[in-house]
Amino acid sequence: MAPDAHGLTLLPFFAGERSPGYRGNARAALVGWTLATTPTEIWRATLEALAYRCAAIYDLLREVTPARACIASGAALEHSRAWVQILADVLNAPVTVSGEAEASARGAALIALRALGIISDFAALPAAFFQTYQRARERQKMLYHSLLQT
């Protein structure tokens, strides 16, 4: 399925928003579905929506650090090339998947090694669909602001 081909916009706040807005009262919303919407389309929209939320955090981090690499780990990423590619496309940055059991500790160590100049680059995945994801990301951002304005 092509990026954003499903026509859905999802706000994935099933347990409130934890970051970057920290709104415990935020709720999930799925906009654009019809009787013809398939479970695969909903799943793809969910992965894309989660990637857009990661991108919101990543954008804030880029304001304070020049690093362009994103290191992600976990069973979902380790076992799904599609999910890794979606994340790389949305972030417009390389994503390196680590099967490390202590991913947080390893990530902190890698960031420190990069800051010290010991590591210069991480493995990269192409982000061929950045423009398509960018448009979808902007649509999700607009829906977020319209539904959760304070």
Strand-pair category, 9-11 with 29-31: antiparallel
Strand-pair category, 70-73 with 29-31: unpaired
Mean pLDDT confidence for 7-31: 89
Q: pTM score > 0.85 for this model?
A: no
The torsion of the CA quartet 113, 118, 120, 121, rounded to 10 degrees, works out to -50
Residue 128 has pLDDT above 50, yes or no: no
- pLDDT band of residue 15 (cuts 50, 70, 90) is very high
Question: In order of start, what are the domains of the chain with their CATH numbers?
Answer: 9-148 (3.30.420.40)
